[in-house]
Structure 1
């Protein structure tokens, strides 16, 4: 198999809506210069951390042969050409307990508060995309809503093993992706057939840079198509909380002043009026307490 043919198969920018030349002309300096946030998502041992290291060009994320080598999200920044990147590595929350998974997802929201330019759904080639993997898609939809697929690129890792199998058995990448044995047809449909094949074992820096540049070009084209990053609801809420927190403190202070004035008046009036004030004050204080507890419970349930 010719190397040129293999290279062309390793990147697919999805179903084109216009010619490649038009897409290239449409790119603007703004989309390239603004820092892009890229979130790595996938099953344990799919190669998320190794992929992050390949993009960064250095070893920042821990890669281990042991299960659950990534236990919490971590972000690192880099610049590739004129593109500034923030790479967020994440653990597989489908294998975590519910409480710890919720806490972890909250960290993701905080790390991607400004939005997600691309979600890289990492999958190891040679591993069948089973029902267990499809449950990962359900988790992704639950966390980010189905809209996130518009920002998703499938990163198929262990490309070196695929290349060897293709040469030995004589099949093409497209035949593998559409075969029933791979189970990848559902994934390809959801991400509009956007994918790259990655080899995270390249020792040649030039070879690694080439595959990274192919991915970054796909991310840039995706940003042009989506006209801005994916904004999740909690990210918007977190930014609003900075404003509303000061307003809440001011409201609480006014509430305390109001209750203080009631008690002051209560102890400076006649015994009969005093008993009425006490009853009214008790009702008001009870209402304030109920509203405060309800508000706190709502915020806790929202984040957890």
Structure 2
């Protein structure tokens, strides 16, 4: 159903340690539903709305059948052009606090139901402003809307047919790590399979980064500098434009 898959758990220094993932994405593309699929329960409010359902960053945890602990941090739409700098700074600080032991993977959620835009590309690239360039080494793209693809159509088929240039650039930044999720499926075995595929990519990310989660020096110290620099850069854009 799309995406690279590899089992590298045995190569990791702490193969059974908790995995912490952070969800980023626009409103109404299935971000919260993806979090619920990963956790195997309705942990986050998920419904279509004319306005954002989430108002603050949240952490939810689940223990999988194999005993693996999964931590999912869900964020509001931090890339909304109407979002104020102080709100973004506060939510990033909250995200940092919740991920005190580091981020094992950043999950950028994109919908197959809508066309990928340059605005989305710019929003995803702004992750670099928030966390530094290294963050892309920990990023996995999660495509939602697996239920709308034809039964015999794979994600690779979809990308080969409709993948615009900006999306190809994003996938390139993320090392072409991506996975397809059907958050509406009632088939438990299918849900477990797509979660295991994602966790395999998370393990691959950790392995490719020396076996450790994302905890660069600024992040580990509270990322005050990053929050300040992001707010400052927005201030400069207001002056220039």
Which TM-score tier does this pair reach, normalised by the shorter chain? 0.7 to 0.9
Matching of residue 106 in structure 1 with residue 77 in structure 2 = no
Task: Provide the residue aligned with 2:3 in structure 1.
Answer: 11
Q: Per-residue displacement from partner, 1:52-109 (whole Å, max 9, x unpaired)?
A: 1001100010112112111111001112224211110011112211221111111111
Quick one: distance in 2 between partners of 1:301 and 1:223?
28
Which of 43, 57, 61 does residue 73 from structure 1 map onto?
57
Could you tell me which of 123, 130, 154 is aligned with 2:141? Answer: 154
Q: How far did 1:172 drift?
A: 5.4
Report the Cα distance in structure 1 between the residues aligned to 2:124 and 2:23, rounded to whole angstroms.
13
CA contact (8 A) 2:102 2:220 kept: no
1:39-62 deviations in Å (ceiling 9; x for gaps): 011111121110010011000101
Cα distance between partner residues in 2 of 1:122 and 1:135: 14
Matched residue SS, 2:150: helix
TM-score (norm 2): 0.83
* Rg (Cα) greater in structure: 1
Q: Is the 8 A contact 1:106 1:303 kept in 2?
A: no
TM-score (norm 1): 0.67
Q: Distance in 2 between matches of 1:135 and 1:77?
A: 30
* 3-state DSSP of counterpart to 1:199: coil
Number of the residue aligned with 1:218: 201
What is the 5 A alignment of 1:160-239?
Answer: 160-164=147-151, 167=152, 173-179=155-161, 182-183=164-165, 184-226=167-209, 227-238=211-222
Q: Secondary structure at the match of 1:32?
A: coil
SS of the counterpart of 2:97? helix
Measure, in 2, the Cα distance between the counterparts of 1:180 and 1:123: 14
1:140 matched to 2:127:
yes
Alpha-carbon RMSD across the aligned residues, in angstroms, is: 2.6
- Can you list the C-alpha shifts for 1:252-303, whole angstroms capped at 9, x where unaligned? xxxxxxxxxxxxxxxxxxxxxxxxxxxxxxxxxxxxxxxxxxxxxx9x9579
CA pair 302-191 structure 1, distance change in 2 beyond 3 A = closer
Report how many residues are paired. 224
Q: Does 1:119 align with 2:106?
A: yes
> For the residues of structure 2 that align with 1:180 and 1:200, how far apart are their CA atoms?
21
1:234 Cα deviation after fit: 4.4
| Partner residue in 2 for 1:58 | 41
Q: Name stretches of at least 5 consecutive residues in structure 2 with no aligned partner.
A: 232-241
Considering fraction of residues, name the structure with more helix: 1
Is the 8 Å Cα contact of residues 126 and 182 (structure 1) preserved in structure 2? no
Q: Which residue of 2 aligns with 1:288?
A: none
After superposing the two structures, state which structure 1 stretch, 109-118 or 181-190, moved more.
Answer: 181-190
TM-fit CA distance, 1:129 = 1.7
Please say if residues 34 and 84 of structure 1, whose CA atoms lie closer than 8 Å, have aligned partners that are also in contact: yes
Instruction: Name structure 1 gaps, 5 residues minimum.
Output: 1-6, 14-19, 242-297
In structure 2, do the counterparts of structure 1 residues 49 and 60 end up closer, same or farther at CA, with 3 Å as the change threshold? same
Which residue of 75, 79, 85 corresponds with 1:94?
A: 79
Rounded Cα–Cα distance in structure 2 between residues aligned with 1:181 and 1:78: 34
